[in-house]
Chain A
């Protein structure tokens, strides 16, 4: 197995600051994630974890700092442009498209299926039909891999919390991502699905995807992450393997107040 961290980092966040008015939610964070690595972010509520993730995903415009993907500065790119460069994410509240079927949820995520070109989608039908066929094939594979085939034609709003989470992850995989951002990926998931999800996260990383994950449940962090970053008050207070950071004095203070 490749030792994660030996590779050139896929995503580099340099001195990132996100402020809301006078409050600095993220205050000068520098982190990086290599391909095939899972970086877990932990920290108390309000530590700035979600803001950090949103800045990397493009949902929030950072106040200052830089985000590089594959060495390219993407700090000013809107989320859809980052997505087209291989960034996908899940949301803290699951983000399924409720009135689309599970299968359609996957199709939307297919490469070239984002409806950017009205012309391609309607008039340039042949090329688009090819793309649709490719996406449908991939969607079928994913449905099999995640054992969701029977729910294929179910509206996503009718799924359970865990199944919604699965759909989100599958949607991300439709795009053959380079970087996957996970915001509390096991919240609201029943135990047997949680196990399945955690296996999948490891498998995704093993396929060479860089994974940046926020997680509250420490067992999940321990099991899934290669490396852990602890945040408090917008800053990184510890970084290392799970065992290293859990022994850090700063972390104990942050958690125990």
Chain B
């Protein structure tokens, strides 16, 4: 592999890593913090990607060789914002139906079916986004600043993506540490109890569903401008599962851990095999990757359903209370005399430990 192609490849990996981390944060808000099993997450990423694409492709002409709706030329930042809005708007529409109070597995199934049906719909109705072929020839933005056909442009774009990542990380951390984020986690653990303490559970879920959808749209927009193309094959329901596995491995409700999980799953596991010599027919490696993603998933659920890296413990010191002195025998004994505690634990297991 020559230097320039390695350079090209590295820049691509850095961009894709950033986009995947963004999506993982979006889904982590929804699943990790709020417990929403959003198996159609990738649909919102696709919505962002298609929106950004058609807004910059220009009006459809006889020579454009692909069919799509509402083609215009708008500046890059506007198209990116529109991608965010598209993800959020689609989430709002779907959330009206899917965020009602229901069984978690029911909700998961419904969101999964939604992803399957929407994918089929885009495939069959070619007039919207060109069916299976998808959209191509999206031009690279900011061409007036850096020559788009150089690796310099790629690195500049990578820097932009990661700058956006930094902003989003700040936002999601701030959100998740606020009283809003705490209420989200509370309803995740016991929705009826959260409601009985004044949390409007449906509204909370709706808000986080839309925010996650906006982040998904953003990641889709960033991706399509880099790849210059986007098609339906890139957003099968499997892609959502890969993000889920990253979260399970990196840490449910742990935004830093999610970076590590995404690196392990999406980069080391999915991207690096592309560097290895190919074997079998084209597509065999991809198929085998999905098999292993499924196995990883089962292993993660079997070993640590709450994630390999646990949620960060929020200590009361953060709220101005004096630090706890560890291993203070008198205090521990006063609160939970050893044998009594064990006895209750058994009783408690029948009464209390039924949820998750």
Do A and B touch (CB < 8 Å)? Answer: yes
Task: Name A's B-contacting residues (CB within 8 A).
Answer: 57-59, 78-80, 83-84, 87-89, 91-101, 103-105, 107-109, 112-118, 121-122, 128, 131-133, 136, 139-140, 147-153, 155, 157, 159-164, 168, 171, 175, 187-190, 192-193
From B197, which residue of chain A is reached at the shortest CB distance? A109
From A190, which residue of chain B is reached at the shortest CB distance? B344
**A162 — which chain B residues lie within 8 A by C-beta?**
344, 347-348
- Closest CB in chain A relative to B191 CB, distance in Å: 10
- Closest CB in chain A relative to B327 CB, distance in Å: 10
- Closest CB in chain A relative to B91 CB, distance in Å: 15
**B356 — which chain A residues lie within 8 A by C-beta?**
98
Q: What are 16 A-to-B residue pairs whose CB atoms are below 8 Å? A: A58-B196, A92-B351, A94-B348, A94-B352, A95-B196, A96-B190, A99-B185, A100-B186, A113-B183, A114-B200, A115-B183, A121-B179, A149-B335, A150-B336, A163-B344, A168-B193
Question: Given the complex of chains A and B, what is the CA–CA distance between A222 and B203 in angstroms?
Answer: 42
Interface stretch of the complex, out of B122-130, B149-157, B316-324: B316-324
Question: Given the complex of chains A and B, what is the CA–CA distance between A162 and B331 in angstroms?
Answer: 17
The answer to whether B351 touches A188, judged by C-beta atoms less than 8 angstroms apart, is: yes
The answer to whether B182 touches A108, judged by C-beta atoms less than 8 angstroms apart, is: yes
Q: Which residue of B175, B181, B316 is within 8 Å of A153 (Cβ)?
A: B316
Question: Given the complex of chains A and B, what is the CA–CA distance between A193 and B345 in angstroms?
Answer: 13
Q: Which residue of A57, A108, A131, A188 is within 8 Å of B194 (Cβ)?
A: A108
Please judge, given known A-B contacts A108-B183, A121-B178, A164-B352, whether A114 and B198 are in contact too, CB under 8 Å. yes
The answer to whether A101 touches B313, judged by C-beta atoms less than 8 angstroms apart, is: yes
Q: Which residue of B180, B186, B345 is within 8 Å of A161 (Cβ)?
A: B345
**A99 — which chain B residues lie within 8 A by C-beta?**
185, 188-189, 253, 306, 311
Q: Which residue of A88, A97, A104 is within 8 Å of B190 (Cβ)?
A: A97
Q: Which residue of A58, A148, A161 is within 8 Å of B352 (Cβ)?
A: A161
The answer to whether A115 touches B351, judged by C-beta atoms less than 8 angstroms apart, is: no
- Closest CB in chain B relative to A87 CB, distance in Å: 8
The 8 closest A-B pairs by CB, nearest first: A161-B348, A115-B183, A160-B344, A95-B193, A121-B180, A188-B351, A115-B180, A136-B319
**B178 — which chain A residues lie within 8 A by C-beta?**
115, 121-122, 128
**A190 — which chain B residues lie within 8 A by C-beta?**
340-341, 343-344, 347
**A78 — which chain B residues lie within 8 A by C-beta?**
195, 200
The answer to whether A175 touches B198, judged by C-beta atoms less than 8 angstroms apart, is: yes
The answer to whether A128 touches B179, judged by C-beta atoms less than 8 angstroms apart, is: yes
Question: Given the complex of chains A and B, what is the CA–CA distance between A129 and B336 in angstroms?
Answer: 33
Question: Given the complex of chains A and B, what is the CA–CA distance between A122 and B356 in angstroms?
Answer: 29
The answer to whether A95 touches B314, judged by C-beta atoms less than 8 angstroms apart, is: no
The answer to whether A94 touches B199, judged by C-beta atoms less than 8 angstroms apart, is: no
From A192, which residue of chain B is reached at the shortest CB distance? B340
Question: Given the complex of chains A and B, what is the CA–CA distance between A58 and B331 in angstroms?
Answer: 39
**B337 — which chain A residues lie within 8 A by C-beta?**
192
From B333, which residue of chain A is reached at the shortest CB distance? A150
The answer to whether A80 touches B348, judged by C-beta atoms less than 8 angstroms apart, is: no
Q: Is B63 an interface residue (CB 8 A)?
A: no
**B182 — which chain A residues lie within 8 A by C-beta?**
100, 104, 107-108, 113, 115
Question: Given the complex of chains A and B, what is the CA–CA distance between A57 and B192 in angstroms?
Answer: 10
Question: Given the complex of chains A and B, what is the CA–CA distance between A187 and B353 in angstroms?
Answer: 14
**A150 — which chain B residues lie within 8 A by C-beta?**
324, 328, 331-332, 334-336
The answer to whether B203 touches A116, judged by C-beta atoms less than 8 angstroms apart, is: yes
From A152, which residue of chain B is reached at the shortest CB distance? B316
**A118 — which chain B residues lie within 8 A by C-beta?**
175, 180, 207
Q: Is B354 an interface residue (CB 8 A)?
A: yes
The answer to whether B321 touches A160, judged by C-beta atoms less than 8 angstroms apart, is: no
Question: Given the complex of chains A and B, what is the CA–CA distance between A101 and B335 in angstroms?
Answer: 16
- Closest CB in chain A relative to B253 CB, distance in Å: 8
Interface residues of B in 248-299 (CB under 8 A from A): 253
Please judge, given known A-B contacts A100-B185, A122-B178, A190-B343, whether A136 and B195 are in contact too, CB under 8 Å. no
Question: Given the complex of chains A and B, what is the CA–CA distance between A113 and B197 in angstroms?
Answer: 9
- Closest CB in chain A relative to B181 CB, distance in Å: 8
**A149 — which chain B residues lie within 8 A by C-beta?**
324, 331, 335
Q: Is B54 an interface residue (CB 8 A)?
A: no
Q: Which residue of B175, B188, B198 is within 8 Å of A80 (Cβ)?
A: B198
**B189 — which chain A residues lie within 8 A by C-beta?**
96-100
Please judge, given known A-B contacts A97-B189, A115-B180, whether A132 and B199 are in contact too, CB under 8 Å. no
Q: Is B315 an interface residue (CB 8 A)?
A: yes
